[in-house]
Amino acid sequence: MDLNDPIRVAIIGQGRSGRDIHGAYLSKDTERFKIMAVVDPIADRRERAKAEYGCDAYEGYQPLLERKDLDLVVNAAPSRYHVPYTLEFLKAGFNVLCEKPLAFRAAEVDQLIDAAEASGKTFAIFQQSRFAPYFRKVKEVIDSGVLGEVVQISISFNGFSRRYDWQTLTDEMGGNLLNTGPHPLDQALQLFGTDTMPKVTCLMRNTVSYGDADDHVMLILSGEGRPIIDLEISSCDRFPGNTYKVYGTCGGLKGSTSHIEWEYYDPAAAPKLVLIRTPLNQPDGTPAYCSDSLKWIKEEWNESDGGGLFNIMSHAFYSMLHRSLHKVAPLEITPQQVRQQIAVIEECHRQNPHIYEG
């Protein structure tokens, strides 16, 4: 591919992801990308795509395998088709970007990685939340060390929603952990560390959704020398609070996707304390409780980009992918990193056989 030529793209699926995320972004970034074809079994969606993108449209994906004018295939088909379609296109010699959830089992990810390595093609996964401004700020504050040793990170992707579509069904790879979970879980594993597998403790319930998959997930990741990460993904939380809350030995952080605040003290400027075993008293001799006079430093961050969170994340992800396809820079989000995520999800399902069996 010439660096000055737009990357020629085919999109499998014209649902909420295929049209409203990938199509919506790629159809605007016309200097770097050109939508050549779409696939969707619904005729109205195919006709709309031809009108909106000026591209070819097919009922099935097979005609794409014969085309020689495609630089990238975006697999935004329903979740249960992510592995088989991606595997077929990688083996056929196409660069592939696959939507989340990538797979149901880690062994399936290994198959995809092997196929990509054998074909020498780029294999990417659309984990665009890695580029969310709020997450980057949280990670920046943690990495700065001002909060001290990070003891716990609580992440909450909650709300109240009586969902009733196909993504509430186990036979469609639905449920909150597989549908919403790949976004916060990808972030959580970046903060935990991708060099080792965490200990996984997970409780899953089916509560207010109309399908049989999970819609309430409590997931705890832990490990020696790592922060405890408490991740909630619930559809039955009427009063959701902070998206992020960080507990540190020198301070803490809390915030949403648009506003974050953190407070910390300078250990070098703090009063020196000595452990006292004898009872503490007030000046008048009455019992006293410990007091510690700390000077708290307060900072905050507000999202200033008015482009909308989805557009911001899509732009950052596709910019990264554009560089990678042109061999200017490697992928920042690798299949190996996403494999760790799928391994965690697989363990969650193992611990909750009442939701997913087999």
Residues for the chain: how many in total? 358
Per-residue pLDDT of the chain (358 residues; tens, 9 = 90+): 677 789 999 999 999 999 999 999 999 999 999 999 999 999 999 999 999 999 999 999 999 999 999 999 999 999 999 999 999 999 999 999 999 999 999 999 999 999 999 999 999 999 999 999 999 999 999 999 999 999 999 999 999 999 999 999 999 999 999 999 999 999 999 999 999 999 999 999 999 999 999 999 999 999 999 999 999 999 999 999 999 999 999 999 999 999 999 999 999 999 999 999 999 999 999 999 998 899 999 999 999 876 789 999 999 999 999 999 999 999 999 999 999 999 999 999 999 999 987 4
Given 75, 95, 126, the domain boundary residue is 126
- 75 and 220: one domain? no
- Last residue within a domain, chosen from 68, 98, 126: 126
* pTM greater than 0.75: yes
* Residue where a domain stops, chosen among 111, 126, 141: 126
Pairing of strands 96-98, 216-222: unpaired
Cis amide bond preceding 101, omega within 30: yes
Residue with tokens 């992440």: 155
| Together in a domain, 151 and 113 | no
Q: Is residue 334 part of a domain?
A: no
Structural domain boundaries enclosing 108: 7-126
Number of domains in the chain: 2
Same domain assignment for residues 105 and 195 = no
**101 in a domain, yes or no?**
yes
Quote the crossing angle between the two packed helices 335-351 and 106-119, to the nearest 10°: 160
Are 142 and 79 members of one domain? Answer: no
Domain assignment of residue 257, yes or no = yes
Q: Are residues 136 and 121 in the same domain?
A: no
Classify residue 50: in a domain, yes or no: yes
